[in-house]
Amino acid sequence: MIHLQGEYAKLQVGRANPALVEGVSIEAYGASQSLKAVASISIPEPRTIQIQPWDKGMLAAIEKGILNANLGLNPVNDGVCVRLAIPPLNEERRAELAKMVNRLAEDAKISIRNVRQDAHKQFKQLKDSGDIAEDELHGAEKRFQEKVDEYNKRVDDMAAGKEKDVMTV
């Protein structure tokens, strides 16, 4: 849930926000690093993000990392820094952001399903080893499924709220 909230916070719909790009992965010096580790990120204007690397040789890697992050932003390299213009939220951009919200929600649900599968495997191992009885197994699986359903509902509620924020003009 916390991860999803952080991802939704990155989808700022009004003004430029450094959180939109801070976590973008950049290939730097033979390793993958976050953008904030290789450059300073500033907001010179309400709809512009400016990224100034500490090493000018990183400009191309920063551009490539931003494009690979699928943020829907086009980097402009002026030889000194990379600028990102945040497009105004027209109907098309709002629909695109709504799709991103739904994609992030689906990714969260997939993570929940993976945890559920791992838990079922562990329950089965406990039963096979004789550590729990059949009745305890069914009770534990039922309680766990209730938690899974609760978290899936919370993800749906968060997605609906964020989608409403995005689509509000």
111 and 163 fall within a common domain? yes
Q: What is the CATH number of the domain that holds 49?
A: 3.30.1360.40
Q: What is the pLDDT of residue 12?
A: 60
Q: Which of 85, 101, 127 is the last residue of a domain?
A: 85
Q: Are 140 and 132 in contact, with CB atoms under 8 Å apart? A: yes
122 and 161 fall within a common domain? yes
Cα 137 to Cα 124: distance, rounded to the nearest angstrom: 8
User: How much is the average pLDDT of 22-26?
Assistant: 87
Cα 164 to Cα 160: distance, rounded to the nearest angstrom: 6
Q: Which of 30, 51, 85 is the last residue of a domain?
A: 85
92-144 pLDDT per residue, tens: 878 888 898 999 999 999 999 999 999 999 988 888 888 888 888 888 889 99
Do the domain assignments include residue 3? no
48 and 99 fall within a common domain? no
104 and 161 fall within a common domain? yes
Q: Which range marks the domain in which residue 161 is found?
A: 91-167
- Pseudo-torsion of CA 82, 88, 89, 95, nearest 10°? -50
66 and 101 fall within a common domain? no
Q: What is the pLDDT of residue 154?
A: 94
Do the domain assignments include residue 52? yes
Query: Does the pLDDT value for residue 14 go beyond 70?
Result: no
Beta strands 82-85 and 75-77, pairing class: antiparallel
Q: Which of 85, 109, 137 is the last residue of a domain?
A: 85
Both tokens assigned to 121: 């495997």
Q: Are 62 and 48 in contact, with CB atoms under 8 Å apart? A: no
Chain-centroid distance of CA 105 in Å reads 9
Residue among 4, 21, 13 nearest 70 (CA): 21
Cα 68 to Cα 12: distance, rounded to the nearest angstrom: 19
104 and 153 fall within a common domain? yes
For 4-19, give the DSSP string: HHHHHHH--SSS--GG
